[in-house]
Amino acid sequence: MWSTTLLTTTTTLLLHALSATATWTAYQEYLSHLPAHPSKHQDPRPSISFHPNQPFNPLPRSPPRGRNCYVQSHDDFVTDDSEFILEALRKCNHGGRAIFPQGRTYVIGSALDLTWLEHIDIDIQAYIQFTNDTTYWQTHAFYQTFQNATTFFQLGGTDVNVYGGGMLDGNGQAWYDLYAKDIYILRPILFGTIGLCSGSISNLNLRYSPQYYNFVANSTDVVFSNISISGYSQSNHTAKNTDGWDTYRSSNLVIQSSRVDNGDDCVSFKPNSSEILVQNMHCNGSHGISVGSLGQYVGQVDVVENVLVQNISMSNATDGVRIKVWPGSPSALSGDLQGGGGSGRVNNITYLDMSIANVDYAIEITQCYGQKNLTLCNEYPSSLTISNVNISNVHGTTSAKYQPVSGYVVCSSPKVCENITLSGIEVVAPDGVGNEFTCGDVDQGLLQGINCTTINKGSN
């Protein structure tokens, strides 16, 4: 029952059919991490520690669980196991542990609203795959209001811990190919943490998400630790918008000790994110650890403040440190991503100790996100202020894309930017030029050791 040598003939044929797909790659990876003789057992909840920094606020204690519920499955890569999952979660809610055993496979083909969970552990040791029924998910996935985000499921409630070493596979290839034909489709996010008040998500492998890997909204006191994220397109259609984490209307979060191999933001702090700690991360292929984008929607107030990012390894990325704010006038980054004119603030943001390798911009701060016409951007400067930003000890090599320039720190008006401080910056372009930045409408006296080339305000 628990060994891959005992798979049924039907399942074996299905696996053979999948052998050339991303799904097969993910499943083989999952199998490779199983012990030689997988067994039906329960893992203790991982003990999560914090170093070098503690969360902004103390986290609530999560008591031990008193009973176990084993989640059944059809174990055939085809049949929807959602009812089995709901049955086990209902049974073990309020003090139990729902276990997805090692070696089992589960299929989720139904949108699951799990915002009613309380005092439960979800021990995922198995392989879980979401179906690639793009028609179903576009009409049934949970709409999250921000940037047309949708999620396969909503995990919420109080005191919920998810862990186990298993794998969640978003079956993203169908979505990558479909998005190349229609940029207005709604691509589900793999892991939706929506309205969770205290909990942890740790020791999991997330693969091939159709869009973001994690969306954390309306949540507080949540820890993400030891998460592995990866998944690229196996066709010529790029996997786009595959952010590792996006936080939204959430506070007192920790994201730490994880590896992200993706093609968009490693971590992004979206509107109204506060008291966020990100530490001990390895990001590869990303768009950096980003504040924003913010100020996208007219009439909305976006606030991101009290954020600490430390001990980051960033490689093969467009950016290391990034703050991106929309201008005061409408602009369009792409057909499905446009905006500008919103207000708010970015305040008390700290980046410490980032090592970069082959990164286009070591540091990028802009209030003209989505607007290529800088004359127009500066005619209608951002209504969203940036203040009290401290970036220290960023070192390594940039790519050749902008050489000899290694960074970009440009505000749309000196009235909306203050106290942006850079220190201990040692970044070198491939041609050997170090610490050469494009600067504009900032106090250059606070950019220690930076060689600033002032941007031409009239250029496009």
How many CA within 13 A on the CB side of residue 21? 17
Residue type for 64, please? P
Local structure of 1: helix, strand or coil: coil
Catalytic: which of 37, 94, 119, 287? 287
DSSP result, 9-75: HHHHHHHHHTTTSHHHHHHHHHHHTS-SS-----PPPPPP---S---SSPPPP-PPP-EEEEPP---
Angle at 350 between CA 349 and CA 354, to 5 degrees: 135
Residue 277: exposed, middle, or buried by beta-carbon count in 10 A (0-12, 13-18, 19+)? buried
The bridge status of strand 214-217 relative to strand 191-207 is parallel
Please give the Cα distance from 331 to 333 (Å, whole number).
Answer: 7
What is the phi/psi pair of residue 81, to 5°? -100, 15
Q: Which two tokens stand for residue 210?
A: 């159709």
Under DSSP, the state recorded for 239 is -
Please give the Cα distance from 193 to 241 (Å, whole number).
Answer: 18
Q: Is 16 a catalytic residue?
A: no
Please give the Cα distance from 251 to 119 (Å, whole number).
Answer: 20
Local structure of 333: helix, strand or coil: strand
Q: What is the set of active-site residues?
A: 287
